[in-house]
Structure 1
C-alpha cells in the first residue's frame, strides 16, 4: 500500500463552497465545480500486525493540509440529503468509534463542528459523548496528531449522519490489531448499536474481537484502489467502500455517485465467505465491499481538527473510506435493526440502496471486483444508503 501525497486525477468533483456558520443546516453547500485537488494519506503504511488510519486530507501546494477560515466540503445537511437521512432520529442510540492513540482535543473539536452546523450539543457533561482507553479506563494513550485527525473525521461523520446518536470513543494504546481488537471488545459490552473502524492493514484471518452479533461492526476497505484490507475482510464485519459524490440537479435524487478510484476492494483468501454474500461476488471468501458512502477527497467532507497535524489546524477537507465507515455505522444506528449480523438484512433488501453503476478502482479479473456496474461490485458493494430501509 502506498501512502504518500498523490494527485487524484481520476476522480471528479471538488471542494464545496464555504458554509455559513448559522445557516448551514438550512442551506446545503453549493454545487461543486469540476476540478481536482491534491490529497495525502495521513497514516504511514502499517507493519504486519498493525493498521493504518484510512483518512486522506486535501493539501495545498506545500503538501500540507489546506485550512480554511470556515468549513469547505460537505456538511451534515449534504450528507443527510444525499443518503435520505434528513429528519431521521435514532432515539439516542450509541455509535462507538475505535481508533488508536489519544486525540486530546476530541471533545472540544466535536463541539466546534456541531455548533458550526447547528447540531445539538454532544458532550461528556450531558452524557452524549464519552472517551475511554481500550479497556474502558480513564488513563489515555499518548497523543498522535495523525490519528487525531482520524478521530475528528469519525466523530464529525457520526454527527453529520445521526445528530442525535450518542458517541463512545475508545482509544487503543497502539494501532496493533491486538490493541484495536481489545478496544472493539470493550465497545461491544457498552450497549452500542454500531462500532466503526476506520483503519486497515493487509489481509489477515478474522478474530473473535470483531465478531459480535447484534452490533453493526463496520470497517473501511482502504484508500489505495483495488486490493484487500482487514478488518473489512473479516467475515463478521460490514466492509464499507467509497464513492465520489456530486450534485445532480436534474435528477430526482439530486445527487450522483460513481466508484471512487481509491476505494479498496477484492476477494479475501484468508476469510470465509459470510452467509449473507451471494454468488454475485464471484469470490469463494469474503468479498469487499458490502456497502459504501462518500470517500473521495475531491468530493470530501468538512472536518474540524485542532491537534495540529503537520502544523495545521482548523477547518479542513477529508476523504477516504474512513469517512464512509462511520456514516454507514450511523445509518445502522438510525435503523435500530442490528439483530444477528446486520449485513445479512442489507443484502436481502437492496431496493433500499442507491446502486452505483459507474467508476473503477483498478484492473482485475474478474472485473466485478474493481469495476462498478448494476448490482454488486467490489468498490461500492451493493450501493449507498437511500434512507434506512436496507439497514
Structure 2
C-alpha cells in the first residue's frame, strides 16, 4: 500500500491496483536538546512546515481532542548503537549474542524517575496518558486543545493541508521545566493521522483515460486477466515491436508464490513467529484468510494470535478500520502463503499515529516475535529530529535480535506527489531492512518467467473518431502510475555494511534503500479474501469477496515470511539482517537472485469497471532504474529461500 505525514500509510503500500491512499504529512517531532533549559525547553521542529499562515483556518475549537507524543533521550545513545552493531556484524566476536528486552531497557532506556516525571506533569496538566511502553522511550497522550495550549504554549490552530483540515501548533511549543531535562522532542500536530495504507486493489486506477485526444475515445478490447503469466493474450496497437501482449495477473495464490520463492518441500516456518503491525483490527481476519486458503488447497491459518486495543481513536482522520482492513488481510495472507505453519502475531495500533509506535514497542518490549513486517511509511523523509523515537526503537530491536522489515514505498522517487526526488522513511533507517518491489511473472509450471523492477506506466488504448484506427492516448510508455520507492537518504550517512557494495554513483556517501525486494506489482499481485467492514457498524462485516492487491505492502510480508523459512532451515535467529546480507553478497554476489532490467515488457489490461483497455508498461519507475547488481528499485535482489538460508547459515 502506499504511506502520510508520516504518511504512515500502511505503505500499504498495499496497492490494490485502485490508487494507493497514503498521505504524506511530515512528522514533526521536536528537535531541540532538552538539557540545560532553565524554565522551559523550546522545540522549533514541533511546528510543522505545513502550518503556514496562508493555510490557517483559525484557532482550534477548545474541545478539539489532540494527540501528542513526548520523546525521551536514551541514557547512552552511543553505547546502544555500538551494541546493535556488535551483535549484528558477522565479523564481531559478539555476533548474534543478543540481549533480552529487560537487559536493554535496564541499561539504555530513560530512567523510571525521568519517565515518571513526564507522566506526572502531563496528568497534572489535565491531559490523559494513553501510551506508556515498558521501554519508556516515549509517552503518547491526548487532551483538549485548551489543555495542550496551557501546557505547551502551542496556540493550536487548524490548517488546510493535503485536502484535510488538521490541528497543529501556530507557534513553537515549549515544554516546562517540570517535565524534566530528558525530553528530546514533542509532537502536537495531527499530521501523522494522514498515515494510510498504500493500497491498490482489484479495480485498477483509470488514470490517463480522461486525457485522451479530443478526436478519439477510449477503446474496449477484451483482455481477460490470467491465472498465470502468459495464459491469456490480447492484440493491441503496435508497441515495442509487437502487437500481442500477455494480460495482467488475476492474483497469485499461495502455491504460486511459494514456487516462485523457491520454498523447499517440508519448509513451512514451524517454530517461527512473524509479527505484523498495522492500525485497528479486522473482525473477520481468520475466517477470511481460512476461506481463501482452503479454497486454494492451502493449510488453514491455525497459528494466528493478536493483540488489539479496546478503544480506537481518530477513526475519521486515519481512515477507520475499513481503511486498514485490507492492509492487515494482505499482510497476514502473504505471510501465511509463504510460511504455512509459522506463527502470525498481529498487533493493531489504537490509531495510525502514536498508536503504531505503542504497538511496535509492545512487540519489542515483550519480544513477541523476532521478525516484524511493517507496511507503512512516510512520503519521503521527515526531518531527523522527527524520527528519534523510532530510531531508538530500531536500535532496541537490533540489540534484541529482532529483524524489522519496512516497505520502501509505492510512489517511486516521490516526485509524483510533488516532492523533490527522495526515498521514503522508514525504509531508509540504517537499522532496518527496506523491502522494494518487483514485477513477477509466474509461469504455469511455477517457474519465474518474468522478474524485473516494479515501476508501472499506463497508456489508454483509444479509437480515432474519424478513421476508427486504434492507437494510444500518449507517447509510450504513457503516464507513470506507481512503483517501488528508493534512493539515497538525506538523513543518514552510508552504514558500514553498504560500503563497497552500493556504487558511489548511487549512494553518494549516504544510506540507500531498498535492501532487498519481492513481488509488489498490483498487476502481478496476490489474491486476498476479505469481508469488508462498515465503520459505522463495526465489528459487523459485509459479504466475503476476493480482490487482488499489490504494493510494497505485499513485498514486505512476503520477504519477512521468507526470512522465517531461512531461520527454520538454518537454525539461527537472524536479527538485523543487513550486515550479514551485504557481507555475503560482497563475497559472493550470485548468492542472491539479481533482478535485471527488462526492456519493452508490458501487459494488456481491461478495467472491469470502465471496460477501457490500457497498455501497462513494466520497469518504468519514475527516475529510479533497475540495474544489474544493486539498484534503488530492488536493492540487492530478490533471494529465494535456499539462497537466503545460505546467507544466514
Q: TM-score, normalised by structure 1?
A: 0.78
Classify the secondary structure of the residue corresponding to 2:17: strand
Distance 1:79 1:2 in 2: 22
Distance 2:496 2:357 in 1: 23
Distance 2:549 2:434 in 1: 20
Classify the secondary structure of the residue corresponding to 1:52: coil
| CA 1:338–1:203: 2 relative to 1, 3 Å | farther
| CA 1:271–1:298: 2 relative to 1, 3 Å | same
Alignment match, 1:53: 197
Classify the secondary structure of the residue corresponding to 1:171: strand
Match of 1:372 among 626, 633, 636: 626
Distance 1:62 1:362 in 2: 19
Mean Cα deviation higher: 260-269 or 306-315: 306-315
Deviations 1:146-199 (A, max 9, x none): 2100000000000111111110111011222x3322211212223412100001
Distance 1:2 1:253 in 2: 29
Give matches, 1:188-267, under 5 Å.
188=364, 189-201=366-378, 202-204=380-382, 205=384, 206=387, 207-211=391-395, 212-213=397-398, 214-226=401-413, 227-247=422-442, 253-261=447-455, 262-267=483-488
Alignment match, 1:347: 582
| CA 1:357–1:309: 2 relative to 1, 3 Å | farther
**Contact 2:196/2:323, CA 8 A, preserved across alignment:** no
Distance 2:518 2:19 in 1: 19
| CA 1:309–1:353: 2 relative to 1, 3 Å | farther
**Contact 2:532/2:544, CA 8 A, preserved across alignment:** yes
Classify the secondary structure of the residue corresponding to 1:58: coil
**Contact 1:195/1:217, CA 8 A, preserved across alignment:** yes
Distance 1:61 1:288 in 2: 27
Shift of 1:40: 1.7
1:292 and 2:483 equivalent? Answer: no
Shift of 1:240: 0.2
Shift of 1:91: 2.5
1:383 and 2:637 equivalent? Answer: yes
1:40 and 2:18 equivalent? Answer: yes
CA RMSD, aligned part only?
3.0
Shift of 1:107: 2.0
Shift of 1:346: 1.7
- Aligned residue pairs, count: 338
**Contact 1:110/1:304, CA 8 A, preserved across alignment:** yes
Match of 1:76 among 236, 254, 260: 254
**Contact 2:16/2:200, CA 8 A, preserved across alignment:** no
| CA 1:200–1:288: 2 relative to 1, 3 Å | same
1:326 and 2:557 equivalent? Answer: yes
**Contact 1:140/1:171, CA 8 A, preserved across alignment:** no
Distance 1:234 1:77 in 2: 33
Shift of 1:81: 0.9
Q: TM-score, normalised by structure 2?
A: 0.48
Distance 1:301 1:100 in 2: 21
Structure 1 alignment gaps of length 5 or more: 4-36, 364-369
Structure whose residues are more often helix by fraction:
2
Classify the secondary structure of the residue corresponding to 1:40: coil
Shift of 1:349: 2.9
**Contact 2:403/2:577, CA 8 A, preserved across alignment:** yes
Distance 1:349 1:41 in 2: 37
Shift of 1:248: 5.4
Alignment match, 1:21: none
Classify the secondary structure of the residue corresponding to 1:56: coil
| CA 1:348–1:360: 2 relative to 1, 3 Å | farther
| CA 1:38–1:231: 2 relative to 1, 3 Å | closer
Mean Cα deviation higher: 321-330 or 103-112: 103-112
Name the larger-Rg structure: 2
Alignment match, 2:158: none
Mean Cα deviation higher: 227-236 or 84-93: 84-93
Distance 1:303 1:294 in 2: 15
Alignment match, 2:137: none
1:276 and 2:497 equivalent? Answer: yes
